[in-house]
Amino acid sequence: MASRAPAATSRLLVGFRKWYYNACGFNKLGLMRDDTINEDSDVKEAIRRLPEQVYNDRMFRLKRALDLSMKQQILPKDQWTKYEEDVYYLEPYLEEVIHERKEKEEWAKN
Amino acid sequence: SMKSKTRLGEPYGSGLLVASLENYSPVSKIGVFVKAGSRYETAENLGVTHILRLASNLTTKGASAFRICHGLEAVGASLSVTSSREHMVYSLDCLRDDFDGVTEYLINVTTAPDFRPWELSDLLPRVKIDKAVADQSPQIGVLEKLHEAAYKNALSNSLYCPDHMVGKISVDHLQQFFANNYTSARMALVGLGVSHAALMKVGEQFFSTHTGAAAPGAVYRGGELRVQSGGGLVHALLACEGAAAGSAEANAFSVLQRLLGVGPHVKRGSNITSKLSQGITKATAQPFDVSATAFSATYSDSGLFGVYIISQADSVINAAMAQVTAVAEGRLTADDLTRAKTQLMADYLMSLESSEGLLEELGVQVLSSGTYSSPQTVTQSIDSVTSSDVVKAAKKFVESKKTMSCYGHLANTPFVDEL
């Protein structure tokens, strides 16, 4: 995540990242990285905290992707999510949730 | 004997007033008094103080809600919030030795709350419970309705969130209200059982550059609100505009209140000293579940004075009015006056015996007037009330435009213009 940001963002590294992002393929269904995250209890709480607009957008993208996958189709190339446009919207909320959980565990230890 | 002195201070230029009273107690009690009561709500954010009152334990910029709760519990401290129409009071109790550790929570709660949307929406059930409990109580209902009927603005705002705003108070409302009202110029930091130096140091962290919004003065209008509900009793509260807190006229009204009676001083006694009780016993043979007590409320720029009656009979209200009219016509003896003054002084001094009462008195005085009057000064000013002052106060009640709020079985209850 953000803590693993590379010390030096060279053009080679960025090129590799872009290639990997496209190879993953979820962008062909119009999804963002945070739409694909596995929903454990922390993630569920973070999703609960999303502002209404962001949550609705997420639901829309998921619905569209499910529909496409059922029809065994993908979006036309101009509608694929681009690497530059991908917003890690869930990350701040998820970090906060994990931080809170860790705080609780610290207290429980003593 | 140990002399405890109240000391006042103001950390440079922030406008915050700091008052401490070193009473050598093993327990410290610190209060933050803010001019952020329900009177400062506007038409757009009615009910915001109710939410703020419930939101005091939520996450702040410096400490999460979890940490505030567990941090306080770990040292046996407690943080509570009370709000009135004029003030919001955050009070923290802790053992004297733990003072340094827990003040950060108080500072965080009063200067840097985070107002997270999901934490606020989790508050909704608590708002509904508060309102349901208030609806069950006719006393609360009648008081709220009295203020709503008596004033055009400010003091007419209810302490509880109105129905149409439940669930509609947003983060923006809270942040705006907070920015406008929680400025250091509108706060007082009061401590009992703390050293003045330590408290001044805490006060330095309250520095804020906002000046806050100006608040309108309360305008009395006099009106009537009646709420039909089931039950055999009528709760009626009849009041006129009284005097602002701290004025000589307010003292006269308080003495008049004691003269008329504020409830039995002896448990299960027959309340001989209460003029209201005695007058009403003569007027009606029906048992009146009374509380026929005189009611007095004072605020910084206005006040209310009147009688509060709980009864089944409809003639009771007129009988109560007759008693006040009697005083207005000068029919009070010197004995009555001395007795009322002594009762008032005793009540005042006894309220200062508990640390809650003392903290509240200290805080409200410092916040309203910037200084603290010692109990001796207050009792002297009570003693200087003459019978003509009291007669004048009673006349004011009889002649001025009255407000009435009633609650209960209202079939036979007279309207305010029929009294």
What DSSP string runs through B229-276?
A: -SSS-EEEEEEEE---TTSHHHHHHHHHHHHH--S-SSTT---TT-HH
Contacts of B312 (CB under 8 A, 6+ apart): B232, B233, B234, B286, B287, B288, B289, B409
C-beta atoms of A103 and B66 within 8 A: yes
Q: Say yes or no: B73 contacts chain A, CB-CB below 8 A.
A: no
Which chain B residue shows the shortest CA-CA distance from A97? B64
Q: How far is CA A85 from CA A5, A8, A19, A31, A89, in A?
A: 17, 21, 15, 11, 11
Helix-then-strand count for chain B, H and E: 15, 11
Helix (H) or strand (E) holding B298: strand B292-298
Chain B residues in contact with A107 (beta carbon < 8 A): 66, 70
Write down the ipTM of this complex.
0.76
Residue B286 pLDDT: 65
Kindly list the domain boundaries of chain A, sorted by start residue: 4-109
Contact B66 A48 (CB under 8 A): no
**B92 contacts B77 by C-beta, under 8 angstroms:** yes
Q: Taking CB atoms and an 8 Å limit, are A103 and B116 in contact across chains?
A: no
- B7 sits in the region (left: phi over 0; alpha: psi -120 to 50; else beta) called beta
How confident is the model at residue A4, as a pLDDT? 56
Q: CB contacts < 8 Å between A and B, how many? A: 13
Instruction: Give every residue of chain B whose pLDDT is below 50, as ranges.
Output: 1-3
Q: Report DSSP state, residue B39.
A: G
Supply the pLDDT for residue B203: 87
Residue B31 parent element (H or E): strand B27-34
% of chain B exceeding 70 in pLDDT: 93
Task: State which residues of chain A have pLDDT below 50.
Answer: 1-2
Which pLDDT belongs to residue B8? 76
Question: In this complex, which of B66, B70, B117 lies closest to A100 when CB atoms are compared?
Answer: B66
Q: What are phi and psi of B189, to 5 degrees?
A: -110, 120
In angstroms, the CA B401 to CA B392 distance is 15
pLDDT at A1: 47
Contacts of A65 (CB under 8 A, 6+ apart): A26, A29, A30, A31, A35
pTM of the model: 0.86
Torsion of CA B159, B164, B168, B169, to 10 degrees: -20
* CATH match of A4-109 with 1.10.3720.10: no
Q: What is the pLDDT of residue B11?
A: 67
DSSP-assigned letter for residue B60: B
Per residue in B310-346, pLDDT (tens digit) is 887 667 788 788 888 888 888 888 888 999 999 999 9
B153 in contact with A at a CB cutoff of 8 Å?
A: no
* Backbone torsions φ then ψ of B142, nearest 5 degrees: -70, -35
What is residue B1's predicted lDDT score, i.e. its pLDDT?
A: 32
Of B128, B131, B109, whose CA–CA distance to B55 is shortest?
A: B109
Cα–Cα distance measured from residue B370 to residue B6, given in angstroms and rounded to the nearest whole number: 13
Question: Do A37 and A77 contact (CB within 8 A), yes or no?
Answer: no
pLDDT at position B164 is 93
